[in-house]
Structure 1
Amino acid sequence: MIEIRRMRAEDAAMMREVFLKHGIHRDEEYYPRCWRENEAGARITLLAFRDGEYAGSLHLLTRSDYPYFAENGIPEINDFNVIPPMRRQGIGDALLDAVEKIALEKYGIVGIGVGLTASYGQAQRLYARRGYIPDGRGVVYKGRPVPFGEQVPVDHDLNLFFTKTAERL
């Protein structure tokens, strides 16, 4: 059984502990900051539990750091993680179903960025399968479109951004 619920204040320490155990590193202040942003309405954090065990989470940023999304009022799915031993059990789809329902009801559109290296291959395929399409702005490095001919490192900051509208449910 998969349960999806919103983050609570007491979840920050548990999330940090489980993520660290599975090699998912964030700075010490990340989880408390997520909670504060939830309280302020800048972020909605959803947590997944499988048979009562924490299985993953994602965030919906009500104002994206990606300029195109911010300028157009497109909320962004951010920091989407399913704990490695829990993958391929429907948890990611359950989290996306829940966050899409929230975003599409309120905004009519939702966005997401994905890395371009092979390590993001599963995510790339997942978003395509779920009806996300590229936003048409091209490759982005550290939030900035990469002009033709410019060279940038191929790392976790090299992304392509996608959107999904209520019509593509």
Structure 2
Amino acid sequence: MNNSIKVRQMTDSDVELVYQVFTEHDIKKPRDYILRCWEQNVAGERITLLAFYQGQFAGSLHLLATSHYPYFVGNGIPEVNDFNVIPPLRNHGIGHTLIEAIENIAFEKFEIVGIGVGLYKSYGSAQRLYAKRGYIPDGRGVMYKEQPVDPGAMVCVDDDLNLYFTKVKP
């Protein structure tokens, strides 16, 4: 692990920090969403990890105990969710460190973990990271808003167009 990177679980005092840094870097996460994430941490519905690079907030990653994706829900698969690394701090191992930490937490309780990834260029680094870490497609094809996209269907290529992957506990 890179000694410049520290990962810890979110606390209530982090809500404003996360909001401010995300806003400064045009990562569109409303304050209400970040607060709701914190409340879900308290309720045990979500685990939010924060990464710090050389002491500054560098990114976050969540583990949802119950996914919004029906296949994961039906099979009791938790979902790694809402992965963000501050753009100028990318390519320093922060993403790798965050996902490794969240997988360690998930695999303490579950035999399999899931993740969804967007399909346009901005998600390219995440797509490659997941493949390198052993995630494989769940075999259900492309989803839009967690629902299957039928052949010939017209959907918007946005953050709701995803392919879902799973990884089995090593």
Whole-angstrom distance in 1 between the partners of 2:120 and 2:38: 30
Aligned to 2:47: 44
- Which of 152, 155, 163 aligns to 1:152? It is 155
Question: Where does 1:50-89 land on structure 2 (aligned, <5 Å)?
Answer: 50-89=53-92
Q: Is the 8 A contact 2:81 2:115 kept in 1?
A: yes
Q: Is the 8 A contact 2:16 2:31 kept in 1?
A: no
Extract unaligned runs of 5+ from structure 1. Answer: none
Aligned to 1:140: 143
Whole-angstrom distance in 1 between the partners of 2:54 and 2:159: 32
The answer to whether the aligner puts 1:118 opposite 2:121 as a matched pair is yes
Q: Is the 8 A contact 2:15 2:31 kept in 1?
A: no
TM-score of the superposed pair, with normalisation by structure 1: 0.96
Alignment length (residue pairs): 167
Extract unaligned runs of 5+ from structure 2. Answer: none
Whole-angstrom distance in 2 between the partners of 1:52 and 1:130: 26
TM-score of the superposed pair, with normalisation by structure 2: 0.96
Q: Tell me whether 143-152 or 154-163 shows the greater mean CA deviation.
A: 143-152
Whole-angstrom distance in 2 between the partners of 1:73 and 1:82: 27
Aligned AA (2:116): G
Whole-angstrom distance in 1 between the partners of 2:77 and 2:151: 25
The answer to whether the aligner puts 1:21 opposite 2:24 as a matched pair is yes
Aligned AA (1:44): I
What percentage of aligned pairs have identical amino acids? 60
